Structure 1
Amino acid sequence: MDSIKLGLIREGKVPPDKRVPFTPLQVQELMQRFPWVKVYCQSSSIRCFSDDEYAAVGVGVVEDISQCDVLMGIKEVPVANLLSGKTYLFFSHTIKKQPYNRGLLQSVLGKQIRLIDYEALKDNQDNRLVAFGRYAGIVGAYNGLWTYGRRYGKFQLKRAHECFDVNDLKLELRKVALPSIKIILTGSGRVGKGAMETLDTAGIRKVSPFDFLHRQFNEPVYVQLHSSDYHDRTEGGPFNRGEFHQYPDRYKSRFYEFTRVADVLMAGAFWNPGAPVLFTREAMQDPSFRIKVIADITCDINGSVPSTVRATSIADPVYDFDPATGQTHPGFSNDAYITVMAIDNLPCELPRSASEEFGRDLIDRILKPLFGEDPDTIIERGTIAQKGALMPRFRYLDNYVRGEE
């Protein structure tokens, strides 16, 4: 086996990301399991793990990583930092033709870079193999509870980013003291499961959609809604999941039933732009619309939740939304408004824990294929570009790269 030099690159996107592909202990494990791989860590003052922590386990901490064959990061690499002819793994945010990253993909092609996108690494059933979704859900639901506590003065929590790790955050949840409110959680994937983890840890009871709609409780409760719980076929007949995913325009939403009884919405479901929105801004103006706190974990701008008109940040996590005008105001400014949390990089609030889970998946699911043992062609199918050309699965990006769409 030929030796491989793997470099952990310093995050260059602004604002910088503190997450890492591998923790120091995981790098130690990596080099033990793959002795022909030598890992180097580009010096960084912003990582959640320090240079000294990597050096302590035998990782070479360097400034120049041009000697490395494979370079791994988290967020998009600034064009000026890309090294020609290398193999890169990071979230490129190009596969949906994001216009702000067109130049990045153009540069990748021009510099003959092999780009492997974490988002495109999937099994044969098209399930993603590595992702931060669970931590988006954990932190997003926590922030929803934090927002409610701040708005109504019921309890005070530390901000998620002030917690050392996920265990510290879960200890903080002991302070949650909610009245008998009702919380909606949408989504059943990684994000939804992470959010459930937070709600369960906070001691909030889960109830059925029927009971949520029709029963009163003397304790806080939440419901986890699936697409079938709030969509009907326009022409009648039973809900068909396959049809809904392929032809979402054949369905209409009845989510309004839940907005009449709920106090908090935690939106964690993937939304297809062809599907109905959860509700409209006009519906939010109706006196029967009861929701006052929205934690949009998905943060789809102008998507299924009409009050998500912009993303918020870790430093400034919420804004108030006025349904009458569609305008935003500083958070907690008016009881008549709806308070919205829409942080678009939620896992960054728990970078150590999120990185540990992500690195575990990389070691267990990706490194063998990456280093050559890939009978399921995971790496080939996750490679966007190589040798100056788009790979076959990503040739649909050709017009995007040329600036024609």
Structure 2
Amino acid sequence: MTELHLWLRHETRRTERRTPIVPADAGRLTGSGVTVTVEESPQRVFPVEEYEAAGCRVTAPGSWASAPPDTVILGLKELPEQPHALTHRHICFGHAYKGQPGAADLLRRFTTGGGTLLDLEYLVDDDGRRLAAFGYWAGYLGAALAVLQHRGRLTAPLTPTGKDELDETLRPAAGDAGDTDLTALVIGALGRSGRGARVALRSAGVEPTCWDLAETRALDRPALLGHDVLVNAVLATTPVPAFLREQDLDGPARRLRTVCDVTCDVGSPLNVLPVYDRVTDWAEPVRRLRKKPELDLIAIDNLPSLLPKESSTDFSAALTPQLLDFHTGGAWGRCRERFQAAISESAVTKGESRGD
């Protein structure tokens, strides 16, 4: 069996504080014979010295492009624009299989270089359940930010924090704006993100209405619009009717004032909230969709990075056993098959130019 060489890359997004492998789990990997190279990163929540102490090699940011061909490059979010031709196997969240903006170009980069995308969203067990996910903390933070916004206590720019500090801000206080009989709806309440959202809302003193598959099959739109806060935690894999439409925003019966789209599937034909065309971010976390009556949107696509230690530790604990079994096929084989199917579906062929 070929020795596995993992290369943990620096995340180029300035607000990405998470890591897919924490130092303690990097030590498990090196102790099992895996070579782990870690790029220095000014924003990663764990200092590179902790990885070095765990037996990892340390190298400069962005040097993965010249790593040996058999190296597996490990990251979380988007790859930098260069090099254009991707020659390695990359483990990350590619967001490239559902027609998202930039998807075709990313797949073309892999076919040009002969590399492979092993998308973490599609690292699943035999029943199709994801084996490593940030969903719980995404839902937790999404619901927390929605409540803080509704109560007039969300301040920008957002900064990373710890769970204890966040929970302290969530506790209801006398004089909170918009807090009289606050009602909240979580759609996708039984999934990972939905569970996190429910816990955060209860920490904020709000008992949420919980909808899942049964309730969305025959959507009660007036009931949806009759809540103050909506947290969408549904990641659609097949087309479904939109939960919220443009015409719903101007209806006279709308009580809804704050929407948090945890899924952030903007640009995809599977988007269940097609009422906005761009995500929000840490600098400007809230976008006003309507002035009268007010309707605010939160759609941040790296929510768990606001709780970087907690979310990274949980994710790493789930991913590490899969990395230890990297050469055994199974879930990683399914990742490869999904990549190959995406290449076939998009008709991307090696040798196409970027302008095609």
User: Which TM-score tier does this pair reach, normalised by the shorter chain?
Assistant: 0.7 to 0.9
- The match for 1:58 is 55
Q: Secondary structure at the match of 1:135?
A: helix
Question: Which stretch of structure 1 is more off in the superposition, 108-117 or 20-29?
Answer: 108-117
Q: Shift of the alpha carbon at 1:131?
A: 1.7
The structure whose residues are more often strand, as a share, is 1
Cα deviation code 1:59-93 (max 9, x no counterpart): 22112452472221111322424786532211122
SS in 2 for 1:162: coil
Paired residues, what number? Answer: 340
1:181 Cα deviation after fit: 1.8
Alpha carbons of structure 1 residues 339 and 227: separation in structure 2 relative to 1, 3 Å = same
- Are 2:333 and 1:380 aligned? yes
Shift of 1:158: 6.7
Q: Does 1:288 align with 2:241?
A: no
CA distance in 1, matches of 2:256, 2:138: 22
| Per-residue CA distance 1:198-241 (angstroms, 9 max, x = gap) | 11222323xxxxxxxxxxxxxxxx20112322543xxxxxxxxx
Deviations 1:104-126 (A, max 9, x none): 32222222223311122111111
User: In the alignment, which residue of structure 1 is the partner of 2:103?
Assistant: 101
Quick one: distance in 1 between partners of 2:14 and 2:221?
A: 36
User: Distance in 2 between the 1:194 and 1:305 partners?
Assistant: 20
- 1:258 Cα shift? 3.6
- Of 139, 163, 166 in structure 2, the residue corresponding to residue 166 of structure 1 is 163
1:368 is the counterpart of 2:324: yes
Partners of 2:115 and 2:274 lie apart in 1 by 39
1:328: which partner in 2? none
TM-score by length of 2: 0.84
* 1:112/1:145 CA distance change after superposition, 3 Å: same
Q: Is the 8 A contact 2:244 2:275 kept in 1?
A: no
Q: Show CA shifts across 1:296-335 (max 9, x none).
A: 222343743354343111110112122xxxxxxxxxxx56
The Cα shift of 1:137 comes to 0.4
1:198-277 counterparts in 2 under 5 A? 198-205=200-207, 222-232=208-218, 253-260=219-226, 262-271=227-236, 274-277=239-242
Structure 1 alignment gaps of length 5 or more: 151-155, 206-221, 233-252, 323-333
Amino acid at match of 1:380: G
Give the 3 Å change call, closer, same or farther, for CA 85–294 of structure 1 in structure 2.
closer
Pair 1:404–1:128, CA change in 2 (3 A): farther
Deviation readout 1:257-288 (Å, 9 max, x if unpaired): 3423x222112223467322224333332222
Q: Is 1:350 matched with 2:307? A: yes
SS at match of 2:36: strand
Seen in structure 2, the aligned counterparts of structure 1 residues 282 and 383 have a Cα distance that, compared at 3 Å, is same
TM-score with structure 1 setting the length: 0.75
Runs of 4+ in 1 over 6 A off after TM superposition: none
1:46 and 1:93 map into 2 onto residues whose CA distance is 23
Q: Distance between the aligned counterparts of 1:339 and 1:85, measured in 2?
A: 42
Q: Following TM superposition, by how much is the alpha carbon of 1:163 offset from its aligned partner in structure 2, in angstroms?
A: 4.7
1:304 and 2:257 matched: no
* Cα-Cα RMSD: 2.9
Q: Which residue of 2 aligns with 1:25?
A: 24
Retained in 2: the 8 A contact 1:160–1:169? no
SS in 2 for 1:383: helix
The answer as to 2:42 corresponding to 1:45 is yes
> 1: distance between equivalents of 2:199 and 2:287?
25
Unaligned runs of 5+ in 2: none
Distance in 2 separating the partners of 1:160 and 1:226? 32
Which residue type is aligned with residue 303 of structure 2?
L
